[in-house]
Structure 1
Amino acid sequence: MTESELHAAGGELCSEHHHHADAIESLQQKLPDEDALMDLADTFRVFGDTTRVKIISALLTGPLCVCDITDALGVSQSAVSHQLRILRSHRLVKYRREGRLVYYTLDDEHISSIIRAGLDHVLERRGEHHENE
């Protein structure tokens, strides 16, 4: 790569190609398998919808019935139900029925950690802090 090509690429590339066999072998042993990486990418795609992120963020506070999620977010019940189905199918939320009410919670603490870490990252870049600190 020429110096001008390196500059055009933002200086983010090596100007020479070196093969570091030990580092490559170590990395290849530590990388998750392809199926796990595909599942992870699929999970992160679910976080790509603002309504789903709002629902998950609301559930950080604890169990909520569908009506409360709908009212709190100002989203139609059919839209919330649709998004909850997607979240359930990816095992991000779970529910329990109490009579005629259905309460949703986050599936496990990992989901909470992912959302909190992501929110902390975004707010830190903006110079803000998360309320739950």
Structure 2
Amino acid sequence: MAMAKQEVIAEVAKIYKVLSNERRIRIVTCLMETSEPISVNSICELTDLEQPVVSKQLNLLHQYQIVCKEKQGNKVLYTVDDPHIVEMIADMINHVKHELVGKPHPKNLF
């Protein structure tokens, strides 16, 4: 049974709320820029965030299926879980780049 439109919109709002945190965006974009799964320590180095902060944010991102994790030995490695999220964040980054330099946006394609 398909979710009702109102339920879908409520879930969309929850995901936007999760992605409204700068630290989580830094973590996701870090993962978007890597070609292989990476560890929490690597994410800390690449984002300049402390390990407890990264771990907490990764847990929330995993809960909403934005990142996935796999255990390899005593390490847990992370990747972005959903290409839709990658596309959405990349589109928002491009939007902001246009805004920063005052470029017009492409015409509505709908």
- TM-score, normalised with respect to structure 2: 0.83
Q: Which residue of the partner structure matches residue 35 of structure 1?
A: 7
Q: Which residue of the partner structure matches residue 15 of structure 1?
A: none
Give the alignment partner of residue 80 of structure 1, picking from 54, 58, 67.
54
Q: Secondary structure at the match of 2:101?
A: coil
**Aligned 1:64-103 pairs, distance under 5 A:** 64-103=38-77
Partners in 2 of 1:54 and 1:114 — Cα distance? Answer: 14
The one of the two structures with greater contact order (alpha-carbon pairs below 8 A, sep at least 6) is 2
Q: Which residue of the partner structure matches residue 47 of structure 1?
A: 19
Give the alignment partner of residue 85 of structure 2, picking from 111, 116, 120.
111
Which portions of structure 1, spanning 4 or more consecutive aligned residues, are displaced by more than 3 angstroms?
Answer: none
Higher-Rg structure is 1
Identity of matched residues, %: 27
Q: Which runs of 5+ in 2 are unaligned?
A: 103-110
Partners in 2 of 1:108 and 1:45 — Cα distance? Answer: 17
Give RMSD over aligned pairs.
1.6
Partners in 2 of 1:45 and 1:81 — Cα distance? Answer: 18
Partners in 1 of 2:64 and 2:80 — Cα distance? Answer: 11
Counterpart AA for 2:7: D
Partners in 2 of 1:75 and 1:69 — Cα distance? Answer: 8
Counterpart AA for 1:86: L
Counterpart AA for 1:49: N
Question: How many equivalent residue pairs?
Answer: 98
Q: Which runs of 5+ in 1 are unaligned?
A: 1-31, 129-133
